[in-house]
Structure 1
Amino acid sequence: MSRFEPDAAILFSDILIVPYGLGMAVDFVEGRGPVLDAISDSSDIKRLKPEQYKARIEATYETVRLCRDKLSLDKALIGFAGSPWTVATYMIEGGASKNYAKVKSWAYRDDQSFNTLIKIVTRATIDHLSAQIDHGADAVKLFDSWAGVLSPSQFEKWVIKPTREIVDSINLKHPTVKIIGFPKGAGHQYIDYVNKTGVDAVAIDTSVNPSWAAKVLDKKVVIQGNMDPISLLVGGEPMLNQACSIISNMKERPHVFNLGHGVLPETPPENVEALAKFLRNLGEG
Structure 2
Amino acid sequence: MTDRHASVRPLLAVLRGTRQPVPPVWLMRQAGRYLPEYRALREQKGGFLELATDSETAAEITLQPIRRFGFDGAILFSDILMIPHALGQDLRFEAGEGPRLSPPLVDHALAALTPVMERLEPVYETVRRVRADLPAQTTFLGFAGSPWTVATYMVAGQGSREQGETRRYAYRDPQAFEAIINAIADSTVDYLAKQIEAGVDAVQLFDSWSGSLSPAQFERWVIAPTVRIVDALRQRHPDTPIIGFPKGAGGKLPAYARETGVNAVGLDETVDPVWAAANLPANLPVQGNLDPLALIAGGSALESAVARILDALGDRPHIFNLGHGILPDTPIAHVEQLLGLVRRGA
| Residue 189 (str. 1) matches residue 255 (str. 2) | no
CA contact under 8 A between 1:77 and 1:139: conserved in structure 2? Answer: yes
In the alignment, what sits opposite 1:154? 217
In the alignment, what sits opposite 1:215? 278
Q: Deviations over 1:95-126 (max 9, x none)?
A: 01133222111111111111111110001111
In the alignment, what sits opposite 1:14? 79
In the alignment, what sits opposite 1:255? 318
Listed as ranges, the gaps of 5+ residues in structure 1 are none
In the alignment, what sits opposite 1:104? 167
What amino acid is aligned across from residue 69 of structure 1 in structure 2?
Answer: A
| 1:241 corresponds to which of 301, 304, 329 | 304
CA contact under 8 A between 1:3 and 1:273: conserved in structure 2? Answer: no
What amino acid is aligned across from residue 206 of structure 1 in structure 2?
Answer: E
In the alignment, what sits opposite 2:17? none
CA contact under 8 A between 1:122 and 1:162: conserved in structure 2? Answer: yes
| Residue 49 (str. 1) matches residue 107 (str. 2) | no
| Count of residue pairs brought into register by the alignment | 280
Q: Deviations over 1:20-40 (max 9, x none)?
A: 011101111112111111112
In the alignment, what sits opposite 2:133? 70
| 2:105 corresponds to which of 26, 29, 39 | 39
User: How far apart, CA to CA, are the structure 1 residues paired with 2:260 and 2:276?
Assistant: 17
Helix, strand or coil at the partner of 1:66 = helix
Q: Deviations over 1:118-173 (max 9, x none)?
A: 11000111111111101110000000000000011110000000000111111111
What amino acid is aligned across from residue 119 of structure 2 in structure 1?
Answer: R
User: How far apart, CA to CA, are the structure 1 residues paired with 2:71 and 2:344?
Assistant: 13
In the alignment, what sits opposite 1:265? 328
RCO higher in structure (CA 8 A, sep ≥6): 2
What amino acid is aligned across from residue 302 of structure 2 in structure 1?
Answer: M
Give the percent of matched residue pairs that are identical in Structure 1 and Structure 2: 47
- Give the superposition deviation at 1:68: 1.1
Listed as ranges, the gaps of 5+ residues in structure 2 are 1-65
Helix, strand or coil at the partner of 1:2 = helix
- Give the superposed CA RMSD: 1.2
Q: TM-score, normalised by structure 1?
A: 0.95
What amino acid is aligned across from residue 19 of structure 1 in structure 2?
Answer: P
User: How far apart, CA to CA, are the structure 1 residues paired with 2:261 and 2:309?
Assistant: 24
Matches within 5 A, 1:136-155: 136-155=199-218
User: How far apart, CA to CA, are the structure 2 residues paired with 1:115 and 1:209?
Assistant: 33
- Give the superposition deviation at 1:225: 0.2
In the alignment, what sits opposite 2:145? 82
| 2:229 corresponds to which of 138, 158, 166 | 166
User: How far apart, CA to CA, are the structure 1 residues paired with 2:119 and 2:140?
Assistant: 23
CA contact under 8 A between 2:210 and 2:222: conserved in structure 1? Answer: yes
- Give the superposition deviation at 1:80: 0.5
